[in-house]
Structure 1
Amino acid sequence: MTTKTATDPKSAVIESRDQLIASFAKGEKPAERWRIGTEHEKFVYRKVDHRAPSYDEPGGIRDLLLALTEFGWRPVEENGRVIALTGRDGSISLEPAGQFELSGAPLENLHQTCQETGRHLEQVKAAGDKLGLGFLGLGMWPDKRRDELPIMPKGRYDIMRRHMPRVGSLGLDMMLRTCTIQVNLDYASEADMAKKFRVGLALQPLGTALFANSPFTEGRPNGMLSYRSHIWSDTDPHRTGMLPFVFEDGFGYERYADYALDVPMYFVYREGRYIDAAGLSFRDFLRGELPVLPGELPTLEDWSDHLSTAFPEVRLKTFLEMRGSDGGPWNRICALPALWVGLLYDQGALDAAWDLVKDWTLDERQSLRDAVPKLALDAPLPGGGKLRDIAGEVLDIAHAGLSTRGRGFGGDNETGFLDPLREIVRSGKTPAERLLERYHGAWNGDVAQVYEEESY
């Protein structure tokens, strides 16, 4: 989740709805300036007993953050506590229970993405070795109850923790027990954004299936292959889901702004403090009628903060975020951006991907999304067959898109980063299914073995 690293005192006051719409247009970039921003989270555990460390304890999350300053990372504080880091590779932040996230810098190609990922993981492993900490690459804690997990000292999380149980039964699981990989991508125009949004939403279930990696809850199989994805189905219906309006004629910046205005607020950030506005209306804020700040109008920074509190499968800010995939091992961190860059950053690939999904109905898209957490590649495909039936074709489209991009390094283009996904399609087994095979086989029902085999 987003961590504020600074406040802009010059952020413009919003005086008209047009400013909200224009904020999306400011994200438009010509193709030569398109970048790739990759975010990945991992679970932190004590090697001696697999316990999730608290923030304050010796050798805990605070000490891990401080240890990384030896690599040039700069601390970001909230109320006198270090809660994030900034540096040349983007920012490091904390999810609510101490999940460790790198929000990578905007980079030109996937070779740079993998180099950035490698630097980060080597740094956290070095720091972790000194502190007795390990890092696990899964989509959900395989063995932890909610009450066993620490809470990080971040104001927005206190507000969210209070609000989540009011609107869904699994929101606290989303906050405390899940990890994801996502990629942030650019668009050239409103029309380009709309087409990328539609392809991203329609094919997000395939991304969920290929990266399905959360089959355990509290030490046992949970009946799902991506329980992390299932969690989103009962987190908060006002700010999650497949956004049917994206596929309607005329979809663009204005329609997304209307959607975001209807997402209930979480907070307003003022003078280093998060003010609880959970459930209140940003439309009231625009009229100066927000009960917690009567008479005050929002700024564009408030709007940006608010956009970060919507959690659909694809999210629009001044870029598009592909949000549907579980956390996983090193090579799949690079594979996720390879999939979406290949599909969305070449016009021929984008057109081919759209041709594949454009005739799916609203109900068919939703049914596919609903089936994927449990069935992954065996989810029923619109028009008949299973999702696995198009997986190879989608990877071929992404491969062609990456080939056309022609971003080489040492004689290789970017297509090799798709190899882990090719292996999943070839074998027919998702990462979660391989974990379950080991659980029922070599692990003899002991999920603790996952720490030996799935740590970075």
Structure 2
Amino acid sequence: MSVSPECGIDGPALTEHEAEALVEGICFKTGPPRSVGVEVEWLVHRERAPHDPVTRDELAAAHADLRTLPLTSGLSVEPGGQVELSSRPAPSLAVCVSEISADLAAVRTALRERGLALAGMGVDPWQRPRRFLRERRYDAMEACLDRTGSAGRTLMCTSASVQVCLDAGREEPGVMGFARRWWLAHHLGAVLVAAFANSPMAEGRATGWLSTRQLKWTELDPGRAGGPSLTHDPRHAWVRRVLDAPVMCVRRDGPWEVPDGVSFREWTRSSSMRPPTRADLDYHISTLFPPVRPRGHLELRMIDAQPGHDGWIVPLAVVTALFDDPEAAAIAHRAVAPLAERTAGAPAPHNPLWTAAARHGLADPGLRRAAVTCFTAALEALPRLGASTRVMDTVAAHADRYVRRGRCPADDVLSPPGVAREQRGG
């Protein structure tokens, strides 16, 4: 192979069977749940004029400032200039909240000195997608995603989320073994989309969807943004999903190749392409965007970025409680079980349940019932998990303001209320 070290693809060729074994071994690391993590993405707006675009030079200077901060979490910049903080695996919810909160305070202070602020929205309501980062990875991603329309550019450049990361769970059968946690993630996920929908606008207009971010994921190729079948063992289903998913790019010197319709499985069998390596497999997995992604742990990726300084805490706390507290987990499992009938046997998010969650939020009666039950169970579980008064009060405030009233943060964006009703009626 003639490749530069920066591509990171040196290594022996990988066969199809070796790739299957690696995916099965690395994506579900089972054991008793011990750790929690979160990735919080934010749009960067002008503090006093959020409708006005931030220039490339201003973003570059702000990002340079942020890289000098002594942060505990990992700092990264997304293609459109969004800022992301990724926590370390934390031994408890309390530690995770404390570390990210301290880092966010430092980031906000640094941005404020340049007249900028973090904005918690699932999709930027005003700005058109524009690339800030010019890197071969994102050049290839843009070229690949453009084949299915404009959704990819929106997700790359003007979207933000809260991603909750939890251990995969125990291997042995039990109340919340890893197979049941996997099942719960895919059905509770629709409830989370509805309860935290916060992207009803794009490019200055209402879209008719409360989570436009989730709508955009459904507009991508299901092979890239869809989950696997839930009718098979999670490991086997995910192995098939990974190997049969289309390859986004083949890294090499110069511009990266963007093959059209070639799966990773086909790549391992190809005689016309350079053979893939372990690094290629790892990279390929990182280019798949299902709502629940196993990376040794479970990434729940369906939650819109949340408003306010502490809004991100709510999905983190609720999800942690519903997965890691046995009593709350059992209640959540029963609450979402009736919703499984609405998936029509199709993987998330390309099924009627997830569509209803993204379009109507908690105005959907079934999703509202499940959300009320799950939030109540989470609030009862949080003291058992050692949550602080701040965390419990923040979750309770979200439940009172939104969940129990059949609303979500997107309803606050759609003002006056008559506009919200008109848009939902489409």
State the partner residue of 1:316: 294
Structure 1 equivalent of residue 304 of structure 2:
326
Q: State the 1:38 CA deviation.
A: 0.6
The answer to whether the aligner puts 1:21 opposite 2:1 as a matched pair is no
Give the 3 Å change call, closer, same or farther, for CA 185–278 of structure 1 in structure 2: farther
Mapped to 1, the partners of 2:14 and 2:330 lie a distance apart of 37
Q: Separation in 2 of the partners of 1:275 and 1:179?
A: 26
1:128 — aligned with what? 111
Distance (whole Å) between structure 1 residues aligned to residue 99 and residue 7 of structure 2: 26
Q: Secondary structure at the match of 1:43?
A: strand
1:396 partner amino acid? T
Number of the residue aligned with 1:164: 145
Inter-partner Cα distance in structure 1 for 2:12 and 2:35: 26
1:67/1:36 CA distance change after superposition, 3 Å: same
| Letter of the structure 1 residue corresponding to residue 373 of structure 2 | E
Output the aligned Cα RMSD: 2.8
1:177 alignment partner in structure 2: 158
Q: 1:255 to 1:374 in 2, by over 3 A?
A: closer
Structure 1 spans left out of the alignment, 5+ residues? 1-5, 73-86, 380-384, 442-456
Looking at structure 2, the residues matched to 200 and 348 of structure 1 have their Cα atoms a distance apart, in angstroms, of: 16
Q: Which residue of 2 aligns with 1:35?
A: 35
Say yes or no: does 1:432 pair with 2:410. yes
Please, which runs of 5 or more residues in structure 2 have no aligned partner? 1-5, 420-426
Go from structure 1 to structure 2 and tell me whether the alpha carbon gap of 1:352 and 1:298 turns closer, same or farther (over 3 Å shift): same
Q: Retained in 1: the 8 A contact 2:182–2:234? A: no
Q: Tell me the SS of whatever aligns to 2:122.
A: coil
Question: For 1:286-305, what aligned pairs fall within 5 Å after superposition?
Answer: 286-287=268-269, 289=271, 291=273, 294=274, 296-299=275-278, 301-305=279-283
Deviations 1:200-224 (A, max 9, x none): 1111111111111112222232222
Show the counterpart of 2:242: 260
TM-score normalised to structure 1 length: 0.79
3-state SS, counterpart of residue 311 of structure 2: helix
**Given the two structures, how large is their TM-score scaled by the length of structure 2?**
0.84
Q: Please give the alpha-carbon distance, in whole angstroms, between the structure 2 residues aligned to 1:304 and 1:420.
A: 40
- Letter aligned with residue 26 of structure 2: S
The separation in 2 between residues aligned to 1:265 and 1:150, in whole angstroms, is 22
State the SS of the aligned residue for 2:41. strand
Identity over the aligned pairs, expressed in percent? 26
Q: Residues 181-237 of structure 1, C-alpha deviation per residue, up to 9 Å, x if partnerless? A: 110110234563221111111111111111111122222322221111111121222
Are 2:395 and 1:421 aligned? no
Q: Displacement of 1:39 after TM fit?
A: 0.9
Q: Shift in Å at residue 269 of structure 1?
A: 4.7
Whole-Å Cα distance in 1 between the matches of residues 397 and 226 of structure 2?
27
Structure 1 match to 2:329: 350
| Aligned residue identity for 1:264 | P
Contact 1:287 1:297 in 2 (8 A): no
Kindly provide the CA deviation profile for residues 211-264 of structure 1, in whole angstroms up to 9, marking residues without a partner as x: 111122222322221111111121222212353x12x1x412122111111111
The verdict on how the C-alpha distance between 1:215 and 1:19 changes in structure 2, with shifts beyond 3 A counting, is closer
Counterpart amino acid of 1:20? V
Residue 369 of structure 2 is aligned to residue 389 of structure 1: yes
Structure 1 residue 335: Cα displacement: 0.8
